[in-house]
Structure 1
Amino acid sequence: MTAAEKAGRSLLRRCISLLGGEPVLSALVVALIATQWRHPRAWTDLPRLVDWPTVMTLAGLLILTKAVELSGVLMWLSHRVVHRVRSERTLAMLLIGLAAALSMIVTNDVALFVVVPLVLSLDKLTPLPVKRLAIFLALAVNAGSVLTPLGNPQNLFLWQTSGVSFGRFVIALFPLCAVLMAMLYGLAACAFAPKPLDLSRDAVSQPVDRPFAVAAAILFVAFVLLADAHHPGIGLAAIGFGFLIWRRDAVLRIDWALLLIFALMFIVLRSVAALPAIREAIAALDLSTPLRAYVAAGVLSQGISNVPAAIMLAEFTRDWRALAFGVSIGGFGIAIGSLANLIAVRLVKKRGIWMAFHLVSIPFWIVGGALGAWLLSVSS
């Protein structure tokens, strides 16, 4: 066997091993093969379907989050938190509120990159139900981000295309956000016990690499501003090159599989959304009433995610409020409904979290969907 054949077999084994340990990645590969078989598209055209600014933004956030973690500042902050919050339930309520509030300002994805690593650091000091917390944080950023045009990409899209003012958008979405947050806090009160935190693992606070922490914090803010100004590539190149020279572990130890999953999701979901059968089926639904547009958005998001659903359905109805309600609800349910769900689950990396997530998220989607329909009907 030649050296090239050995290298080829080694690469194949690594790919099979990767797919075997990544069910979402495996499902996306199968879906890609199926869509290419049914409706073939030139393989060289597929990269054009990827929203590269989003992928570059995600890559930059992964690097910066890893840098913050390696600096030790999260462990220092966790040490401070556990000595001021005495019960598991209080801690959960605090983290849910923090995640929701951040998601209204810096988008749901960025909020998760702040709060989830904090939870993982807290778990090193006191035993926490990390899986449960991650699930509730995913729900929290989806619920909180409903309120403002800045909260998530679908809101930004609908705000820009609708032409309404920032204030009017917030007022229109406030009732749904309030109901979802009330549901979430009620559920959290049942899911988390008021038992005291076990601080037996809490030793002396870990020292902080201050220059590294300060640099990571400044770069985090700068990168978010660059991404918001639609220049994530410049920011990614700068922090990637800089950290490779200074602290390469901040680059080499990020979740590369998550980036691949996101790239494949754009290819698969946009390929499915472009299928003639899908577009014909939506056109036949007659989305002339708010309730029909709402239901279509909430259901379609379960199959192609809420951002593509918003973009696609905007071609068939001008009722931006019904669409905003629908895609907001569509972020719950199946994990693929919102990319934030996938980020939360991937950041935690706990066995069995996919099943646990859907046992909470799907009922939340059903109940929230019913309440959203009621809110839409009484205010139309």
Structure 2
Amino acid sequence: MLFVALTIVLACIDPQPLARYQRWLQLPTLSGLLGLLIAIQGIRDSGLVQRMAGAMVARIHSLRGVGLLLVSMTAVLSTVLTNDVSLFLIVPLTVAIGSMSNLPVLRMAVLEALAVNAGSTLSPIGNPQNLLIWQHAQVPFLSFVGTMLPAASVMFVLVAALTWLWLPKDRVELQAEQLDGHDVSISLALLSLVSLALMVLMMEHGHAPLGALLLVLPFAMFSWRSLIRIDWLLMATFAAIFLGLGHFATLPIVDHALGNIDFNQPLAVYLGGIVSSQLISNVPATVLLLDRAPNAMALAVAVNVGGFGVVIGSLANLIALRLARQPHGMRLFHAVSIPFLLVCAPLVYLMALLLG
């Protein structure tokens, strides 16, 4: 509702042509989100996630062990499958594990949001801002990875340490009545897994709207209840964020403020990327600063660090909290993520100075 209000206020005080609103809406991104929501809801409804969760907790006996495994899986997957896809795979698994054990789901969702920001930092295809900068800078894939490795390493070490310190030392306590009896619909599981793979491929090749349409049709015929149970409010939230922040980033006052900053200074690029990410999210911040920052890779480090902090620093944060659906999630996220940013940002910058 906050971003709906922002969109309406900006439309009243600074009217723009319809074509601009259509561009700000980012239909390909929303289509990709819809396709992922459909596929993951199908996987949930098939019972496959619950079966996998039961197999995992039956083999790992400490909460810290489960937590480190989930955080590591999240970070690794985000380097190759992008940050949002990783969360769509891992957070439902976490929720299922929490339903049959004493694993603290909300803590894990917060940790996985941090982990996905850390892991996706490493790869040029790990998140949208890296993809934009990679295409803009025209650097080789491995050179990009090498440049981002120190920052990503600092981030992940901090996330792993926080996971170890924050999770209880307790052993996993299984709830037998929840562990047993999870039937798996093989047909729905296969449909959903194929749909997920198809959606990722369509997103990689720039055909997200077509991919979402191809998913809607078979689910409407064979599993229409899964379509109903999709988190449509998350879709509406992202649409409002895109419209509100997209318009805000183009205001003359914003352009004037940026014009007073000397982006030839490395610290200015670093702080500018982090602060702007806190205000308008790291992907719009990247678009806003990419032509102003002479060192695109320094900007990449900054906007990835800016994914920590407030929840809109990275839209992956919102996805993690919405998928977990735990009470007081926003409050706990900020209580952890803002101090995490305040610790992580200087350490990453110091690492960059040491490495020259």
TM over 0.5: yes
Within 5 A, what are the aligned runs for 1:107-186? 107-186=82-161
Tell me the equivalent position of 2:222. 246
Which 10-residue stretch deviates more, 331-340 or 42-51?
A: 42-51
Q: Is the 8 A contact 1:89 1:192 kept in 2?
A: yes
Q: Is the 8 A contact 1:227 1:235 kept in 2?
A: yes
Q: Is the 8 A contact 2:273 2:286 kept in 1?
A: yes
CA distance in 2, matches of 1:369, 1:200: 40
Tell me the equivalent position of 2:64. 89
Tell me the equivalent position of 1:316. 292
Tell me the equivalent position of 1:100. 75
Offset at 1:194?
2.1
Letter in 2 for 1:333: G
Work out which of the two has the higher radius of gyration on C-alpha atoms and give 1 or 2. 1
Q: Is the 8 A contact 1:90 1:194 kept in 2?
A: no
Tell me the equivalent position of 1:35. 10
- The reply on whether 1:272 has 2:248 as its aligned counterpart is yes
CA distance in 2, matches of 1:270, 1:136: 28
Letter in 1 for 2:134: W
Map Cα deviations across residues 328-347 of structure 1 (whole Å, 9 max, x no partner).
Answer: 11100000010100101111
CA distance in 1, matches of 2:155, 2:88: 22
SS of 1:316's equivalent in the other structure is: coil
CA distance in 2, matches of 1:374, 1:78: 40
Tell me the equivalent position of 1:297. 273
- The reply on whether 1:68 has 2:46 as its aligned counterpart is no
Offset at 1:203?
3.8
Q: TM-score, normalised by structure 1?
A: 0.91
SS of 1:145's equivalent in the other structure is: helix
- The reply on whether 1:371 has 2:354 as its aligned counterpart is no
Tell me the equivalent position of 1:260. 236
Would you identify which runs of 4 or more consecutive aligned residues in structure 1 move more than 3 Å? 42-45
CA distance in 2, matches of 1:164, 1:111: 25
Show structure 1 runs of 5+ residues with no match.
1-25
Letter in 1 for 2:205: A
CA distance in 2, matches of 1:40, 1:357: 35
Which 10-residue stretch deviates more, 368-377 or 167-176?
A: 368-377
Offset at 1:186?
1.0
Q: Is the 8 A contact 1:130 1:348 kept in 2?
A: yes
Offset at 1:252?
1.2
SS of 2:139's equivalent in the other structure is: coil
Tell me the equivalent position of 2:26. 51
The alignment yields a C-alpha RMSD, in angstroms, of: 1.3
Pick from 191, 195, 200: which aligns with 2:175?
200
Letter in 1 for 2:116: V
Letter in 1 for 2:313: G
CA distance in 2, matches of 1:146, 1:44: 32
Q: TM-score, normalised by structure 2?
A: 0.97
- The reply on whether 1:330 has 2:303 as its aligned counterpart is no
Letter in 2 for 1:258: L
Q: Is the 8 A contact 1:60 1:239 kept in 2?
A: yes
Show structure 2 runs of 5+ residues with no match.
none
CA distance in 2, matches of 1:317, 1:78: 45
Letter in 1 for 2:38: I
Letter in 1 for 2:220: L
Q: Is the 8 A contact 2:150 2:352 kept in 1?
A: no
CA distance in 1, matches of 2:257, 2:199: 41
Tell me the equivalent position of 1:189. 164
Q: Is the 8 A contact 1:63 1:250 kept in 2?
A: yes
Offset at 1:215?
1.8
CA distance in 2, matches of 1:47, 1:260: 15
